[in-house]
Amino acid sequence: MKRLLQLLMIALVAALLISCGTTPPPAEETPVETGETPEPGVNLDGETVVWNEEKGQYEIETDAQLRFAVDNDAFGAAVVALWDKTHPEHAGKVTFENMGSQDTADKIGESQGELPDVILVIDGEVPRNEAHMLAFDSHLADIVRANGSEQGIDAGNPTNTVIYAPAALDGMTFVTNITMLEALGYDVTDANGDGLVDAFDTWEKIFDLAKEWAEDRPVYKVRQTEVVTNDEGEEVTQFTDEYVEQQVNVVFPMTLDNQWSDYHHLSSAGWRLYASGDAAEPGYDDPKFKEGFEFMLAAKEAKISVEQSGEVTPAAAMTWRWDNVINGVNLSPFGLVGTWQDVAGDAEATGNTYSISNLPTWKGLNQATFAKTKGYIINSYTDYRSAAHELLRLVYSQEGFQAMVDNSSYAPALVAGADVAPNLADDSVQKQFMDGMQFTATEPGYTLPSGKKGMDAVYYAHISDYEKAIWDGELSVDDAIAQLIEVTNAAIAAEQ
C-alpha cells in the first residue's frame, strides 16, 4: 500500500509539471552508486539502499520498522538490544520472531511480504527460493565474502550475486567422554591437541578397544531418571542426581536408521554422495561406496555395540542414541554430537569433560559428516531495504557474532582469522565445533526434474533399509548395492 501511494504521488506530480509546460528534473544518483556521504534520510524511499561511507553503515529510513527472524529467543533479544544500543535514535524499530529455521526459506514466496525483513534460513533452501531474496549491496556482500565460510557461501549463493550470509554451523562431529575413559583407567593424553585422545585417534584403535571389552566388560556409573508430573499435569521423565553402576555394552552407538549421522561410515573410503553434481547420479556404483559398508561390517565384527547378553545389537535397535553419550547415562565413551545439543549444559550437570573433534581416521582417511549452515537473507518484499541492510550488517559484525555465541550454542560459520569473529575461549564448545568440523560435507541440494529433492528420492528414502539388511546378514554388500541401485534408478525415473 505504501508503494502504491508513492507511485500515485509521483504520477500526480509528473502530471502537474507537464501541465505547467515543464519536465521533471532527472533522478538524483543514489549515494551508493556515487560513493557520496548522504544526509540522513536522503534518497530513502524504501527501495534505495544507501551506504554512509563516513559512518561505515547503512542509512535507516525514518519510518522503518524491522522484524528479525531467528530460532533462538535469547539471541533474538540480544540482537534487538544491540540495535537499540548502536542506533539509540532508532531504538524500538527492531523486533524479533522465533520462526525456527527449517523450511523457513520456502515460506517467503508463499507469504509474499508477510514474513520478517531479515530471516535466518538453511543454506540448502536458498537456491530454490532466490527469486524472493534481495541481492546484497556491494559493501555488505564484500563483508560476507571476506568472512563467511566457503562451504556456506557456495551452498547458499547459487550465482556470483550474494544473497545469503552464512552464520552458524549446523551438523555433527565426534565427541569423547574424557572423564569416563580416565575413570576406566585409560590414558587420555592428546599430545597434538586435535581433540582426540592419542590412544583412540583412529577407528582401528577404537575397534581394538571394543574387542577388548567383548572379553571383559567394564562397569561404570549411569545417571538415573524419575517420572514426575509437570505444571501442565503431564508425566515427564527427568534426570536425578543418583547414579548406579552398570556394565558398559557400547563403545560407539553407530546408527543405521538416521541417514544424517549414518553418512560418516558410508564416507569411510572417500565416497561422497552426488560427487557427480548430477541429481540423477548419486554415486552408488562407486567402489568407494562399497568400502563404506565394509567399515560398517568391521564395526559389527569388533562388537562396537552389544546387548546385555553379549550379542551384537540388532539393526532395529541401532537407532539414535547419541544423547545418552553426553547426558550422564554414559552409554559409551565415544559418539557423535550435534551443534544443537547442549554440550556445555550437560557437562555442567554431569561433571563430565567432553572433547569435540574431527572423526578418527579409518585406513588413514578422514570420514565426513553432513553439515549445513544457518545464515541470513533479506526478504525481497521488505519495505525498508536500507534499514534491512543495516540490521544485517550489524548482525554480521563482531558484536553481532559475539551476541550469537554469548546467547546460543551456535558455532560461527566463519573463515579462520575472520575480522568479525567473536571472542571464544579455546575450550569453548563453539570453538571445538569450529575446529572439529573440518571434513564435513555439504548436504547436496540438487533437485530432480519434478522438483523433488534428490536427497529425498535416492538417499533418505532407501539407504537405511540396505544398511540394516547388511548388518543383520540378510543381504551381502554386493547384493544390497545392486538392489539399492535398482530401486533408486526407478525412483529417479519416476521424478522425470
Contacts of 160 (CB under 8 A, 6+ apart): none
Phi, psi of 61, rounded to the nearest 5 degrees: -60, 140
- Reduced to 3 states (helix: H, G, I; strand: E, B; else coil), residue 285 is coil
Shared domain for 236 and 382, answered yes or no, is no
**Positive or negative: CA dihedral 359, 363, 366, 368:** negative
Instruction: Note the pLDDT of residue 18.
Output: 37
381 is in which domain, residue-wise? 49-170+372-434
Please indicate, yes or no, if residue 406 is contained in any of the structural domains.
yes
Shared domain for 62 and 111, answered yes or no, is yes
Shared domain for 104 and 197, answered yes or no, is no
Grid cell at residue 123? 543454506
Are the C-beta atoms of residues 340 and 408 closer than 8 Å to each other?
no
Are the C-beta atoms of residues 162 and 481 closer than 8 Å to each other?
no
Instruction: Note the pLDDT of residue 19.
Output: 40
- Of 388, 407, 434, the one marking the end of a domain is 434
Please state, in angstroms and rounded to a whole number, the distance separating the CA atoms of residues 157 and 150.
10
Helix axes 259-266, 463-471, angle to 10 degrees: 60
Shared domain for 214 and 333, answered yes or no, is yes
Instruction: Note the pLDDT of residue 69.
Output: 96
Helix axes 477-494, 463-471, angle to 10 degrees: 170
Please indicate, yes or no, if residue 14 is contained in any of the structural domains.
no
CATH number for position 102 = 3.40.190.10
Q: Which residues does residue 371 pair with via DSSP β-bridges, in sequence order?
A: 171, 442
- DSSP assignment of 400-456, as one string? HHHHHHHSS-PEE-B-TT-TTPPP--TTSHHHHHHHT-TT-EEPP--B-TTS-BHHI
Please indicate, yes or no, if residue 18 is contained in any of the structural domains.
no
Instruction: Note the pLDDT of residue 221.
Output: 96
Instruction: Note the pLDDT of residue 443.
Output: 83
Grid cell at residue 209? 578397544
Pairing of strands 354-357, 219-229: unpaired
Shared domain for 364 and 382, answered yes or no, is no
Contacts of 206 (CB under 8 A, 6+ apart): 200, 251, 252, 304, 334, 360
Q: Which residues does residue 246 pair with via DSSP β-bridges, in sequence order?
A: 220
Shared domain for 133 and 219, answered yes or no, is no
Please indicate, yes or no, if residue 148 is contained in any of the structural domains.
yes
Please indicate, yes or no, if residue 40 is contained in any of the structural domains.
no
Instruction: Note the pLDDT of residue 28.
Output: 35
Shared domain for 355 and 213, answered yes or no, is yes
The helix or strand, by DSSP H or E, that contains position 221, with its residue range, turns out to be: strand 219-229
Shared domain for 134 and 239, answered yes or no, is no
Phi, psi of 375, rounded to the nearest 5 degrees: -160, -170
- Of 414, 434, 454, the one marking the end of a domain is 434
Please state, in angstroms and rounded to a whole number, the distance separating the CA atoms of residues 375 and 164.
7
pLDDT along the chain (496 residues), means of 10: 44 41 34 44 80 96 96 95 98 95 86 90 91 97 97 92 96 97 98 97 99 97 93 90 96 96 96 93 97 98 97 98 97 95 92 97 96 95 97 99 92 94 92 91 86 90 97 98 97 94
Please indicate, yes or no, if residue 202 is contained in any of the structural domains.
yes
- DSSP assignment of 53-120, as one string? TTTTEE---TT--EEEEES-HHHHHHHHHHHHHH-GGGTTSEEEEE--STTHHHHHHHHSS-S-SEEE
Instruction: Note the pLDDT of residue 140.
Output: 98
183-210 per-residue burial string, b: 16 or more CB within 10 A, e: under 16: eeebebebeeebbbbebbbbbeebbebb
Shared domain for 96 and 189, answered yes or no, is no
Distances (CA, A) of 414 to 145, 268, 387, 410: 10, 26, 24, 12
Length of the chain: 496
Using CB atoms within 10 Å of the CB of residue 128, give its burial: 0 to 12 exposed, 13 to 18 middle, 19+ buried: middle
Please indicate, yes or no, if residue 37 is contained in any of the structural domains.
no
Using CB atoms within 10 Å of the CB of residue 94, give its burial: 0 to 12 exposed, 13 to 18 middle, 19+ buried: buried
Please indicate, yes or no, if residue 451 is contained in any of the structural domains.
yes
Instruction: Tell me 37's DSSP state.
Output: -
Instruction: Tell me 38's DSSP state.
Output: P
Q: Which residues does residue 166 pair with via DSSP β-bridges, in sequence order?
A: 375
Q: Which residues does residue 67 pair with via DSSP β-bridges, in sequence order?
A: 95
Shared domain for 145 and 226, answered yes or no, is no
- Of 434, 463, 479, the one marking the end of a domain is 434
Domain count for the chain, please give it: 2
Distances (CA, A) of 208 to 197, 301, 362: 15, 11, 13
Please state, in angstroms and rounded to a whole number, the distance separating the CA atoms of residues 277 and 326.
36
Only one residue has cell 548419486, namely 282
Shared domain for 294 and 230, answered yes or no, is yes
The helix or strand, by DSSP H or E, that contains position 485, with its residue range, turns out to be: helix 477-494
Shared domain for 141 and 184, answered yes or no, is no
